[in-house]
């Protein structure tokens, strides 16, 4: 349930409503819009249905939120959320490009890749230090050493960084080194990890599980918001379908659907969505045309030598070409890169 207050509601009237909700054993989350304040009621709300909340001074309307996700819903926050990460706004006019290797391999290679993607217009460096690999025999990432390399390169080049956290016990460590923590497709329903990420105030890039519905995806985001962290960026990265030619199938529908259902920004990962570098550019064009707020792209200076996902990584030249092409698409839909 959300309670919409009238413009210019007095602080004491607002507090009286909040106190009433708390006295029923429920939590509140406040969405402070330009015009209006909205109070989100968190918890089992059945008890609220019999409360005459409209009778409280300051209440304009009470809206039962039928969707199971509340805080991520457009009803709760009608305006788009803009996630601010050290001067970079995600969810604003500018389409934000995140790029880098699948895995951090060593300092020199990451520096080369980062230098290239920065030159082409990427603002955020991606790279995994903890890799959730399908096979236990595949490269698992450099761990803490990888985080240190990432921070060194990002600081040196003035880039922000995003890296995956796969264990709730590592959240603190990852946020110490990276600007955005990524929760990957395989962990989208790792609820302890989501809760831990929610307790931190650091931005979270939440990727859609490969077998998750849009509703389940938004419920996972709800876990993070319900712990008090509203800095969530969603990422559509393809889902598993009967098609096997591509690694996954990009659910392009998810971009406008999520824009409709939620205020959170949504970006697209064309690399994992396709699994083939030759498809990345076309799919990225589609993502921006559909309204994506950004892209996260795998790029490697020598894809044939990459420790993981080389087959879906763009080389520096193709990445540069792609960003130039995307500039025109962005402009056509009223955005910029």
- The binding site for Mn ion (CB under 5 A) comprises 102, 309
- Shorter beta-carbon distance to ligand PEP: residue 96 or 185: 185
Residue 75: contacted member of Mn ion, ligand PEP, none (CB under 5 to 8 Å, by partner type)? none
Q: In the beta sheet, which residues pair with residue 236?
A: 268
The encoded tokens of residue 111 equal: 């520096």
- Shorter beta-carbon distance to Mn ion: residue 291 or 294: 294
Residue 237: contacted member of Mn ion, ligand PEP, none (CB under 5 to 8 Å, by partner type)? ligand PEP
Secondary structure (3-state) at 158: coil
Which residues, including other chains, have CB under 8 Å from residue 5's CB and lie 6 or more apart?
13, 14, 17, 36, 37, 38, 39, 58, 59, 60
Contact present, 143 and 130 (Cβ < 8 Å): yes
Q: What are phi and psi of 62, to 5 degrees?
A: -115, 125
CB atoms within 10 A of CB 12: 9
Scanning 16-24, 108-116, 178-186, 277-285 for contacts with ligand PEP by CB under 6 A, the matching segment is 178-186
Least spacing, CB of residue 271 vs ligand PEP, in Å:
8
Least spacing, CB of residue 103 vs ligand PEP, in Å:
8
Q: Strand runs (DSSP E) across 64-118, as ranges?
A: 83-85, 88-90, 96-100
Residue 259: contacted member of ligand PEP, Mn ion, none (CB under 5 to 8 Å, by partner type)? none
- Shorter beta-carbon distance to Mn ion: residue 184 or 203: 184
Residue from 259, 272, 300, 335 that binds ligand PEP (CB under 6 A)?
272
CB atoms within 10 A of CB 333: 12
Contact present, 246 and 276 (Cβ < 8 Å): yes
| Residue number closest to ligand PEP, CB atom | 184
- The number of CA neighbours under 13 Å toward the Cβ of 11 is 0
- Shorter beta-carbon distance to Mn ion: residue 222 or 309: 309
Taking CB under 6 A as the rule, does residue 184 contact ligand PEP? yes
CA-CA distance, 145 to 163, in Å (whole number)?
13
- Shorter beta-carbon distance to ligand PEP: residue 40 or 100: 100
CA-CA distance, 97 to 278, in Å (whole number)?
18
| Residue number closest to Mn ion, CB atom | 102
Least spacing, CB of residue 209 vs ligand PEP, in Å:
9
Residue from 4, 97, 102, 297 that binds ligand PEP (CB under 6 A)?
102
Residue 222: contacted member of Mn ion, ligand PEP, none (CB under 5 to 8 Å, by partner type)? none
Report which of 114, 96, 179, 116 is spatially closest to residue 153, judged by C-alpha positions. Answer: 114
Contact present, 237 and 297 (Cβ < 8 Å): no
CA-CA distance, 159 to 265, in Å (whole number)?
20
Least spacing, CB of residue 308 vs Mn ion, in Å:
6
Taking CB under 6 A as the rule, does residue 70 contact ligand PEP? no
Residue 202: contacted member of ligand PEP, Mn ion, none (CB under 5 to 8 Å, by partner type)? none
* Cα angle: 190, vertex 195, 200; to 5 degrees: 130
Least spacing, CB of residue 334 vs ligand PEP, in Å:
28
Taking CB under 6 A as the rule, does residue 118 contact ligand PEP? no
What single string gives the DSSP state of each residue in 108-155?
Answer: HHHHHHHHHHHHHT--EEE-BSS---SSTTS----THHHHHHHHHHHH
Residue from 125, 185, 252, 255 that binds ligand PEP (CB under 6 A)?
185
Least spacing, CB of residue 244 vs Mn ion, in Å:
18
Taking CB under 6 A as the rule, does residue 203 contact ligand PEP? no
DSSP letter (8 states) at residue 223: H
**Residue list 228-267, contact with ligand PEP (CB under 6 A):** 237
Taking CB under 6 A as the rule, does residue 128 contact ligand PEP? yes
* Residues within the interface to ligand PEP (CB under 6 A): 102, 128, 132, 184-186, 207, 237, 269, 272
């Amino acid at each position: 349930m959300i309670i919409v207050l009238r413009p210019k509601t007095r602080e004491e009237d607002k507090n009286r409503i909040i106190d009433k909700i708390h006295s029923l054993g429920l939590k509140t989350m406040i969405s402070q819009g330009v015009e209006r304040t909205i109070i989100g009621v968190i918890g089992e709300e059945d008890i609220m249905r019999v409360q005459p909340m409209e009778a409280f001074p300051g209440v304009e309307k009470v809206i039962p939120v039928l969707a199971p996700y509340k805080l991520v819903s457009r009803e709760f926050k009608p305006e788009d959320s803009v996630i601010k990460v050290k001067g970079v706004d995600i969810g604003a006019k500018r389409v934000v490009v995140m790029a880098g290797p699948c895995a951090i391999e060593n300092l020199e290679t990451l520096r080369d890749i980062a230098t290239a993607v920065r030159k082409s217009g990427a603002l955020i460096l991606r790279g995994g230090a903890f890799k959730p690999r399908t096979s236990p025999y595949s490269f698992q990432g450099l761990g803490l050493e990888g985080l240190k390399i990432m921070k060194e390169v990002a600081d040196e080049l003035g880039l922000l960084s995003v890296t995956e956290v796969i264990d709730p016990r590592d959240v603190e460590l990852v946020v110490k080194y990276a600007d955005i923590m990524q929760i990957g497709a395989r962990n989208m329903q790792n609820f302890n990890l989501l809760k831990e990420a929610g307790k931190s105030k650091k931005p979270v890039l939440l990727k859609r599980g490969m077998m998750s519905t849009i509703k389940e995806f938004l419920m996972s985001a709800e876990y993070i918001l319900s712990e008090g962290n509203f800095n969530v960026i969603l990422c559509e990265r393809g889902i598993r379908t009967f098609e096997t030619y591509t690694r996954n199938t990009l659910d392009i529908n998810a971009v406008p659907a999520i824009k409709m259902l939620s205020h959170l920004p949504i970006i697209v990962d064309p690399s994992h969505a396709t699994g083939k570098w030759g498809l990345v550019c076309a799919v990225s064009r589609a993502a921006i045309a559909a309204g994506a707020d950004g892209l996260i792209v795998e790029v490697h200076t020598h894809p044939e030598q990459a420790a993981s996902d080389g087959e879906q990584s763009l080389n520096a030249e193709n990445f540069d070409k792609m960003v130039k092409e995307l500039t025109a698409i962005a402009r056509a839909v009223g955005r910029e890169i």
